[in-house]
Amino acid sequence: MAAPLVCGTAALAVTGGAIVLVDGASPAARATTASLRLPADAAPVVGPGVALVEPVTVEPRVADAADLVKGVRLAEEQALARVRAQAPKPPVLAPQQRVTRGDCGISTSGLGAVQPHVRAAAQFLGCRFGEPTMYGVAGRAGTSDHPSGRAVDFMVNPATGDRLAACALKNRAALGITYVIWQQRINFGSGWQLMEDRGGVTANHFDHVHVSFGAAAGGSPTGC
Protein backbone atom coordinates (compact mmCIF):
# COMPACT_ATOMS: atom_id res chain seq x y z
CA MET A 1 0.00 0.00 0.00
CA ALA A 2 2.12 2.79 -1.30
CA ALA A 3 -0.60 5.47 -1.40
CA PRO A 4 -0.90 7.66 1.71
CA LEU A 5 -4.11 7.73 3.73
CA VAL A 6 -5.94 10.80 4.95
CA CYS A 7 -5.83 10.89 8.78
CA GLY A 8 -9.28 10.65 10.29
CA THR A 9 -10.91 9.55 7.04
CA ALA A 10 -9.80 5.91 6.79
CA ALA A 11 -11.28 2.95 8.67
CA LEU A 12 -8.82 0.24 9.77
CA ALA A 13 -9.92 -3.33 10.48
CA VAL A 14 -7.89 -6.41 11.40
CA THR A 15 -9.62 -9.74 10.70
CA GLY A 16 -7.78 -13.05 10.70
CA GLY A 17 -4.45 -11.37 10.09
CA ALA A 18 -5.77 -9.33 7.12
CA ILE A 19 -5.74 -5.53 7.09
CA VAL A 20 -8.57 -3.67 5.34
CA LEU A 21 -8.38 0.04 4.62
CA VAL A 22 -11.60 1.82 3.64
CA ASP A 23 -11.46 5.36 2.23
CA GLY A 24 -13.81 7.83 3.83
CA ALA A 25 -15.30 10.98 2.43
CA SER A 26 -13.00 13.92 1.81
CA PRO A 27 -13.07 16.43 4.63
CA ALA A 28 -15.45 19.31 4.10
CA ALA A 29 -13.99 22.73 3.52
CA ARG A 30 -13.73 24.75 6.68
CA ALA A 31 -12.77 28.29 7.46
CA THR A 32 -9.81 29.18 9.61
CA THR A 33 -8.77 32.39 11.27
CA ALA A 34 -6.06 32.83 8.64
CA SER A 35 -8.55 32.35 5.83
CA LEU A 36 -10.95 35.08 6.91
CA ARG A 37 -9.86 38.03 4.83
CA LEU A 38 -11.66 40.84 2.94
CA PRO A 39 -10.85 41.90 -0.60
CA ALA A 40 -9.13 45.30 -0.68
CA ASP A 41 -11.86 46.94 -2.77
CA ALA A 42 -14.80 45.36 -1.01
CA ALA A 43 -17.07 47.12 1.40
CA PRO A 44 -16.63 45.89 4.93
CA VAL A 45 -20.29 44.94 5.24
CA VAL A 46 -22.69 43.71 2.52
CA GLY A 47 -25.69 43.52 4.72
CA PRO A 48 -26.74 43.97 8.29
CA GLY A 49 -24.41 41.83 10.40
CA VAL A 50 -23.03 39.91 7.40
CA ALA A 51 -19.26 39.90 6.81
CA LEU A 52 -17.69 39.08 3.48
CA VAL A 53 -15.42 36.02 3.82
CA GLU A 54 -13.54 33.82 1.39
CA PRO A 55 -13.54 30.12 2.52
CA VAL A 56 -10.28 28.28 1.93
CA THR A 57 -10.04 24.46 1.90
CA VAL A 58 -7.46 23.25 4.42
CA GLU A 59 -4.82 20.75 3.21
CA PRO A 60 -5.57 17.40 4.93
CA ARG A 61 -2.87 15.69 6.99
CA VAL A 62 -1.81 12.33 5.59
CA ALA A 63 -0.52 9.17 7.24
CA ASP A 64 1.61 6.46 5.63
CA ALA A 65 -0.25 3.11 5.41
CA ALA A 66 2.98 1.28 6.34
CA ASP A 67 2.89 2.93 9.77
CA LEU A 68 -0.63 1.59 10.34
CA VAL A 69 0.46 -1.94 9.39
CA LYS A 70 3.40 -1.74 11.82
CA GLY A 71 1.07 -0.61 14.58
CA VAL A 72 -1.29 -3.55 14.03
CA ARG A 73 1.59 -6.04 14.02
CA LEU A 74 2.98 -4.57 17.25
CA ALA A 75 -0.42 -4.90 18.92
CA GLU A 76 -0.66 -8.56 17.83
CA GLU A 77 2.84 -9.34 19.18
CA GLN A 78 2.02 -7.72 22.52
CA ALA A 79 -1.21 -9.74 22.80
CA LEU A 80 0.67 -12.98 22.05
CA ALA A 81 3.32 -12.12 24.65
CA ARG A 82 0.59 -11.66 27.28
CA VAL A 83 -0.93 -15.06 26.44
CA ARG A 84 2.47 -16.77 26.78
CA ALA A 85 3.18 -15.03 30.08
CA GLN A 86 -0.12 -16.29 31.52
CA ALA A 87 0.40 -19.91 30.39
CA PRO A 88 1.02 -22.33 33.28
CA LYS A 89 4.65 -23.39 33.79
CA PRO A 90 5.51 -27.13 34.00
CA PRO A 91 6.29 -28.27 37.54
CA VAL A 92 9.90 -28.84 38.60
CA LEU A 93 10.25 -32.48 39.57
CA ALA A 94 12.47 -33.97 42.24
CA PRO A 95 15.16 -36.39 40.96
CA GLN A 96 13.21 -39.50 41.93
CA GLN A 97 10.11 -38.13 40.15
CA ARG A 98 11.98 -37.39 36.92
CA VAL A 99 12.52 -41.13 36.45
CA THR A 100 8.81 -41.67 35.77
CA ARG A 101 8.52 -38.79 33.30
CA GLY A 102 7.14 -40.16 30.03
CA ASP A 103 7.00 -43.79 31.28
CA CYS A 104 5.34 -46.34 29.00
CA GLY A 105 2.34 -47.02 31.22
CA ILE A 106 3.70 -50.34 32.51
CA SER A 107 1.54 -51.96 35.17
CA THR A 108 2.93 -51.62 38.69
CA SER A 109 0.06 -53.48 40.39
CA GLY A 110 2.38 -56.31 41.41
CA LEU A 111 4.71 -54.00 43.34
CA GLY A 112 2.44 -53.32 46.28
CA ALA A 113 3.33 -50.49 48.68
CA VAL A 114 6.97 -50.11 47.65
CA GLN A 115 8.90 -46.90 48.35
CA PRO A 116 8.21 -44.08 45.82
CA HIS A 117 11.74 -44.11 44.40
CA VAL A 118 11.58 -47.90 44.08
CA ARG A 119 8.39 -47.68 42.02
CA ALA A 120 9.95 -44.97 39.83
CA ALA A 121 13.04 -47.13 39.22
CA ALA A 122 10.85 -50.16 38.41
CA GLN A 123 9.03 -48.11 35.78
CA PHE A 124 12.31 -46.84 34.34
CA LEU A 125 13.81 -50.32 34.01
CA GLY A 126 10.60 -52.13 33.08
CA CYS A 127 9.78 -49.74 30.24
CA ARG A 128 13.21 -50.20 28.71
CA PHE A 129 13.24 -53.98 28.80
CA GLY A 130 9.96 -55.28 27.40
CA GLU A 131 7.60 -54.39 30.25
CA PRO A 132 8.16 -57.61 32.23
CA THR A 133 6.00 -58.74 35.12
CA MET A 134 7.31 -57.14 38.32
CA TYR A 135 6.90 -58.12 41.97
CA GLY A 136 7.62 -55.91 44.95
CA VAL A 137 6.38 -56.21 48.52
CA ALA A 138 6.20 -59.84 49.64
CA GLY A 139 6.99 -62.03 52.63
CA ARG A 140 10.39 -63.69 52.54
CA ALA A 141 12.29 -65.97 54.87
CA GLY A 142 15.61 -64.73 56.17
CA THR A 143 17.13 -61.38 55.24
CA SER A 144 15.27 -59.67 52.39
CA ASP A 145 14.34 -56.19 51.21
CA HIS A 146 10.96 -57.31 49.86
CA PRO A 147 8.91 -56.99 53.08
CA SER A 148 10.06 -53.36 53.56
CA GLY A 149 9.13 -52.37 50.00
CA ARG A 150 12.75 -51.85 48.89
CA ALA A 151 13.15 -54.64 46.32
CA VAL A 152 11.74 -55.54 42.90
CA ASP A 153 11.87 -58.82 40.98
CA PHE A 154 11.80 -58.50 37.15
CA MET A 155 10.61 -61.74 35.48
CA VAL A 156 12.73 -61.96 32.30
CA ASN A 157 14.45 -64.34 29.88
CA PRO A 158 18.26 -64.74 30.00
CA ALA A 159 19.07 -62.23 27.23
CA THR A 160 16.81 -59.52 28.67
CA GLY A 161 18.00 -60.27 32.19
CA ASP A 162 21.64 -59.68 31.23
CA ARG A 163 20.83 -56.24 29.82
CA LEU A 164 18.47 -55.22 32.62
CA ALA A 165 20.98 -56.20 35.32
CA ALA A 166 23.74 -54.26 33.53
CA CYS A 167 21.52 -51.18 33.22
CA ALA A 168 20.56 -51.33 36.88
CA LEU A 169 24.22 -51.48 37.93
CA LYS A 170 25.12 -48.64 35.55
CA ASN A 171 22.53 -46.45 37.32
CA ARG A 172 23.13 -47.61 40.89
CA ALA A 173 23.61 -44.12 42.36
CA ALA A 174 20.85 -42.48 40.32
CA LEU A 175 18.26 -45.14 41.19
CA GLY A 176 19.41 -45.75 44.77
CA ILE A 177 20.27 -49.42 44.12
CA THR A 178 22.30 -51.30 46.74
CA TYR A 179 22.77 -54.62 44.92
CA VAL A 180 21.53 -56.83 42.06
CA ILE A 181 21.06 -60.63 42.04
CA TRP A 182 20.93 -62.54 38.73
CA GLN A 183 21.62 -66.18 37.86
CA GLN A 184 22.92 -67.24 41.28
CA ARG A 185 25.27 -64.24 41.45
CA ILE A 186 25.18 -61.00 43.45
CA ASN A 187 26.72 -57.64 42.55
CA PHE A 188 27.13 -54.71 44.98
CA GLY A 189 28.71 -52.54 42.29
CA SER A 190 32.22 -54.02 42.40
CA GLY A 191 31.70 -57.16 40.33
CA TRP A 192 29.70 -60.43 40.36
CA GLN A 193 30.10 -62.93 43.18
CA LEU A 194 28.80 -66.50 43.11
CA MET A 195 26.04 -67.37 45.63
CA GLU A 196 25.15 -70.65 47.29
CA ASP A 197 22.80 -73.06 45.54
CA ARG A 198 19.29 -72.55 46.91
CA GLY A 199 17.82 -75.56 45.13
CA GLY A 200 15.70 -74.20 42.24
CA VAL A 201 15.44 -71.96 39.15
CA THR A 202 13.49 -69.22 40.92
CA ALA A 203 15.35 -69.52 44.22
CA ASN A 204 18.64 -69.12 42.35
CA HIS A 205 17.32 -66.16 40.31
CA PHE A 206 17.58 -67.76 36.87
CA ASP A 207 14.12 -66.54 35.79
CA HIS A 208 14.18 -63.06 37.33
CA VAL A 209 16.51 -60.19 38.19
CA HIS A 210 16.31 -59.11 41.82
CA VAL A 211 17.11 -55.42 42.48
CA SER A 212 17.39 -54.06 46.03
CA PHE A 213 17.27 -50.35 46.94
CA GLY A 214 18.51 -48.09 49.68
CA ALA A 215 16.63 -45.28 51.43
CA ALA A 216 16.40 -42.91 48.46
CA ALA A 217 17.49 -42.25 44.86
CA GLY A 218 20.39 -39.97 44.08
CA GLY A 219 19.58 -38.36 40.71
CA SER A 220 18.43 -38.89 37.12
CA PRO A 221 19.35 -42.19 35.40
CA THR A 222 20.88 -42.44 31.94
CA GLY A 223 19.61 -44.61 29.13
CA CYS A 224 20.79 -48.17 28.62
The answer to whether residue 63 scores a pLDDT higher than 70 is: no
> What pLDDT does 20 receive?
44
SS3 180: strand
Q: pLDDT digits over 120-155, tens only?
A: 999 999 999 999 999 998 876 556 889 989 999 999
Q: pLDDT digits over 7-35, tens only?
A: 444 334 444 544 444 454 444 444 444 44
Phi/psi region, residue 149 (left: phi>0; alpha: psi -120 to 50; beta: rest), is left
- CA Rg value for the chain: 41
Q: How far apart are CA 9 and CA 25, in angstroms?
A: 7
The more confidently predicted of residues 120 and 215 is: 120
> What pLDDT does 11 receive?
38
Domain boundaries, the chain: 5-25+47-86, 95-213
Give 127's contacts (C-beta < 8 A, 6+ positions apart).
103, 104, 106
Contact 213, 115 (CB under 8 A): yes
Question: pTM score, two decimals?
Answer: 0.54
Candidates 79, 120, 89; CA nearest to 102 is 120
